[in-house]
């Protein structure tokens, strides 16, 4: 089965525009039919229909793509919960802009479990070119 890229975009107010995020997701290889959005919903509210659909669309081996971490989570505990859910389902999370020398995202988020209960650490993608 082919691994898919599933995109998620969010803006907090009805007056904000999703165009830049949609364009960024397309540039990262996400097809229009795989981009899920929440318009006018704050990131502090985890009950977001677009996020729920994006998470549901991800299968084992797929990658959830967002342009910035704050589009999917507004706090470290929320980010950790989402990453834990994705990790349990073998779904990767990709952040950010393209590396100009590669079609791979510049960063990936890695859940680093520490003895004190874990945390989120962002580190360079080992496959990206400098």
Helix (H) or strand (E) holding 98: strand 92-98
Q: How far is CA 51 from the centre of its chain?
A: 10
Among 10, 7, 104, 22, residue whose Cα is nearest residue 57: 7
CA atoms within 13 A on the CB side of 6: 24
Specify the residue for token string 């209960």. Answer: 117
Active site residues: 12
Pairing type for strands 63-66 and 35-39 reads unpaired
Among 90, 88, 61, 65, residue whose Cα is nearest residue 3: 61
């Amino acid at each position: 089965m082919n691994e898919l890229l599933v995109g998620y975009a969010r803006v907090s107010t009805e007056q904000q525009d999703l165009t830049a995020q949609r364009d960024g997701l397309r540039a990262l290889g996400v097809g229009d039919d795989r981009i899920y959005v929440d318009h006018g919903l704050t990131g502090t509210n985890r009950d977001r229909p677009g996020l729920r659909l994006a998470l549901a669309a991800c299968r084992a081996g797929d990658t959830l793509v967002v342009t910035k971490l704050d589009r999917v989570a507004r706090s470290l505990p929320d980010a950790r919960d989402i990453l834990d859910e994705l990790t349990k389902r073998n779904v990767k999370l990709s952040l950010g802009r393209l590396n100009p020398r590669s079609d791979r995202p510049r960063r990936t988020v890695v859940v680093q479990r520490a003895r004190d209960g874990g945390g989120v650490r962002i580190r360079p993608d080992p496959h990206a070119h400098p």
